[in-house]
Chains A and B, each alone.
Chain A
Amino acid sequence: EADIYQTPRYLVIGTGKKITLECSQTMGHDKMYWYQQDPGMELHLIHYSYGVNSTEKGDLSSESTVSRIRTEHFPLTLESARPSHTSQYLCASMKWGSKLAEAFFGQGTRLTVV
């Protein structure tokens, strides 16, 4: 069982609200990722981090922002939610420095903006 947790699992929120999706892992992994998964299943990398104070944008442009103040914590924030942000958000972590490492995923947050 992976020690990576996402909260909340489900969130329904009104347009214009600020929200933070939480992701925490207890494996001491340096690399962490946020993916957005559309209904057609495709995963889009929106943010990643190599370690504390490191954040990079992924391949899909996103209005969200992330921070990495602690190794175990990689929250994603939307300053003003819109219906177009409705999606499944998946967080993952991976051990740094190994080309044989696997990624561990949280259970995901399903966000609905109404």
Chain B
Amino acid sequence: SQQGEEDPQALSIQEGENATMNCSYKTSINNLQWYRQNSGRGLVHLILIRSNEREKHSGRLRVTLDTSKKSSSLLITASRAADTASYFCATDSGGGSEKLVFGKGMKLTVNP
């Protein structure tokens, strides 16, 4: 089964609003990453947060990690139409297996 689960599955907002996506996972991790996918293309890495970090920022992105709840959230502030894409969380699944496992993804639509 997949390690990560994004929530909600789809989100539609207006430009300028903030978008929050949540991810839950099941096993211990070394790090958690967020990726973005434009329609029909490959995934692009956005941000990585280590298991001993609680919050990380990169531009308009803010990621939090709660290892006690096995959950993470990605906040995109002041969204733009160009942020319209699918977003995935990924974990390395820990345990030395080196597998990179993705969640189901969340489709974000930012309306101009």
Contacts and interface: CB of A to CB of B under 8 A. Distances in A.
Interface of A: 2, 6, 31, 33, 35, 40-45, 48, 50, 58-59, 88, 90, 92, 94, 96, 99-100, 102-108, 110
B99 interface: yes
Contacts of A88: 40
Nearest to A56: B99
B104 A41 contact: yes
A44 B97 CA distance: 16
Contact of A90 (B30, B42, B45): B42
Contacts of A41: 37, 86, 104-105, 107
Given A43-B88, A92-B43, A110-B40, A103 B31 contact: no
Interface of B: 1-2, 30-31, 33, 35, 37, 40-45, 48, 50, 86, 88, 90, 92, 98-105, 107
A88 B48 CA distance: 25
Nearest to A110: B40
B106 to A, nearest CB: 8
Nearest to B105: A41
26 contacts: A2-B42, A31-B98, A35-B102, A42-B104, A42-B105, A43-B105, A45-B102, A48-B99, A48-B100, A58-B99, A59-B1, A59-B101, A90-B42, A90-B43, A92-B100, A99-B31, A100-B50, A103-B35, A103-B43, A103-B100, A105-B43, A105-B44, A106-B42, A108-B41, A108-B42, A110-B40
Given A92-B100, A100-B50, A105-B43, 6 more contacts: A41-B104, A59-B101, A102-B33, A102-B48, A103-B100, A106-B42
A50 B98 CA distance: 8
A43 B102 contact: yes
A60 to B, nearest CB: 10
Contacts of B44: 105
A106 B40 CA distance: 11
